[in-house]
Amino acid sequence: MYPHLPKSAHFTTEHDAFRRSVKRFVDTELLPHVDAWDEAETFPRALYERAAEIGLLGLGFPEEYGGVPGDLFHEIAMIEELSRTACGGLMASVFSHTIGAPPIVAGGSAELKSRVLPEILSGKKISALAVTEPSGGSDVANLKTRAVRDGDSYIINGSKTFITSGMRADYITVAVRTGGPGAGGVSALLVPGTASGLTRTTLKKMGWWCSDTAQLHFDDCRVPVGNLLGAENRGFDIFMRNFNHERLALALQAYGFACVCLDEASDWARERMTFGQPLMQHQVIRHKLVAMATQIEATRALLEDMAARLQQGQQPVAQICMLKNFATQTMQLCADHAVQILGGMGFMRGTKSERIYREVKVYMIGGGAEEILNDLAARQLGWL
């Protein structure tokens, strides 16, 4: 997989061994089936437990709940290998717990964490995050879904949309309004998938076909007070911290898919004969490939620098926003160039670049749209 760079100093023999394990999993259990799963718009639930068995689901979570030790460079190695599937929908659903479960770790009671997290990290239960609403996406501070305290329960009313793993999630981390307007009135509640008053509607999408995506409806949905994550009316900070890692993960996936596009386009350019010579012999094609490679090199440098900063304890929010935007722009450029180089084949289902091309926009919108993140970066830099 491109880029063929000298080994980074950040990657140790431990990272390399982990990468080999992920590579075997991708080669034997994902690549033979991923096209069929995407066409079927689903994949086997058993895949969660298989991913857990080799340490993918627990990576970076506390060991006491079934987590697996690992740093951000383990995550980079993992996503680089998983990206070879060219299937963002698969990755989004298998790893929906990486946005659903961190608020449980951050704010759940000891009893709740010991009961719920081992099930999630072993792949026996599925975790999802529900923040976005039909009335607004990135404007979390103004969400409308309300939870009212009633004795030892909260009663929830409202709707959430674009929820990854929303149809089959067993635990849903939900952003609700428990107080007044603005960020100070937001709380986090863990809603069991079996809760009465919860109904779900599947959504059809341009890409991410095998990822189940749902709209959720809460009609007097009752959950125990013990499912509150963190303090009441203090959930906004939990969700904001969660977004930082989500944006980094989206940037990593965008980078991985950009590499896949370059691989497929360069292979095609070497093999495809036009006017008596390989397509690669045409200067215009070589220049497109170099433009792709240049953008990928820059993205990888930013990703490794960001991972190192985060592991040092920094929280450079503006730079995370800029990285996510830059990486998704890299994915967009590489997908566009790859489809153009493949020509008619790039328009056909079955090529990796075709699927990645369809999935570009969800990366540019999900986790905070490009325009929202630019504005957030400006505020973090003191320009607003």
Residue 73's Cβ-count burial label (10 Å; 0-12, 13-18, 19+) is: buried
C-beta separation of 251 from 327 below 8 A:
yes
Catalytic residue from among 80, 246, 264, 359: 246
What CA–CA distance (Å, rounded) separates 321 from 308? 16
Respond yes or no: is residue 246 known to be catalytic.
yes
- Spacing of C-alpha 227 from chain mean position: 24
C-alpha to C-alpha distances, 235 to 12, 32, 89, 107, 307, nearest whole angstrom: 37, 42, 28, 9, 26
Give ∠ CA 39-245-98 in degrees, rounded to 5.
Answer: 50
Phi/psi at 204 (5° precision): -95, 145
User: Among 181, 174, 320, which residue's Cα sits nearest to residue 235?
Assistant: 174
**Cβ atoms of 117 and 279 closer than 8 Å:** no
CB atoms within 10 A of CB 231: 12
Residues marked active site are found at: 246
